[in-house]
Amino acid sequence: MSTLIINGVTMQAKVGERVLNVARRNAAHIGFACDNAGVCQGCRCSVLRGEEHLSPPSEAEKAWISADRLAAGERLACQTVVRSHGEVHVLSRAEELRLLIMGIVAPPHGESRLNPIAPLASILLQTSIDQVTQFPGNIVTSIKRVGFVRFAFPVLDRERLLHDTQRVVQRMTNRSVPIRSVRKQATAIPILQITTEEEPQAR
């Protein structure tokens, strides 16, 4: 078995499993709208450590993520397969955004709620730039891979989507992982360093 640590939570994975499937099985906070088609990009994530245990970027990932971002560890979890035994640390884009938004809504003691605004805007801007620079190749490649109907209507199992979403929400509202644990992992991503320094220990 391999070990995936997604958003600070340790999960077991078999060689050959997709990272997204492991995440969904464990109700991890990650997007999963297109049922592994690689077209919705909801499952974007950053591989912080252990990338050598994962498959190389697929054509789907190359279509949607720039070469620079792929080199920096950004992946689509639905296309990324565990290929060897080891420990892999992953931070999902959904969790990155949650951390930044929470930094605005309820900033840690001693931090300004304005600090996360620039990193949040930067992530959204970079994602938009990626889509523009990859266009129209990203669309053409995706349609060739999965067909127009699947591209336009990517959700295959709406009941499973709703069920898994409900499980994620339930798990997130009963979080047992200290926020400082996830925030500490996020510091591995330069764009988040301004807002994700580990909180001081409670007295």
So what's the pLDDT on residue 175? 66
Nearest Cα neighbor of 81 from 110, 64, 65, 61 is 61
| Tokens found for residue 109 | 């003691």
The three-point CA angle 153-158-160 to 5° equals: 135
Structural domains in the chain plus CATH codes? 2-189 (3.10.20.30)
So what's the pLDDT on residue 198? 40
Output the tens digit of pLDDT for each of the chain's 203 residues: 899 999 999 999 999 999 999 999 999 999 999 999 999 999 999 999 999 999 999 999 999 999 999 999 999 999 999 999 999 999 999 999 999 999 999 998 899 999 999 999 999 998 888 888 999 999 999 999 999 999 999 999 999 999 999 999 999 888 655 445 455 555 545 444 433 334 334 33
Summarize pLDDT for 23-64 with one digit per residue, the tens.
999 999 999 999 999 999 999 999 999 999 999 999 999 999
- Positive/negative CA dihedral, 81, 83, 85, 89: negative
So what's the pLDDT on residue 192? 47
Nearest Cα neighbor of 12 from 83, 74, 87, 118 is 87
So what's the pLDDT on residue 193? 44
So what's the pLDDT on residue 184? 53
Q: What is the pTM of this model?
A: 0.83
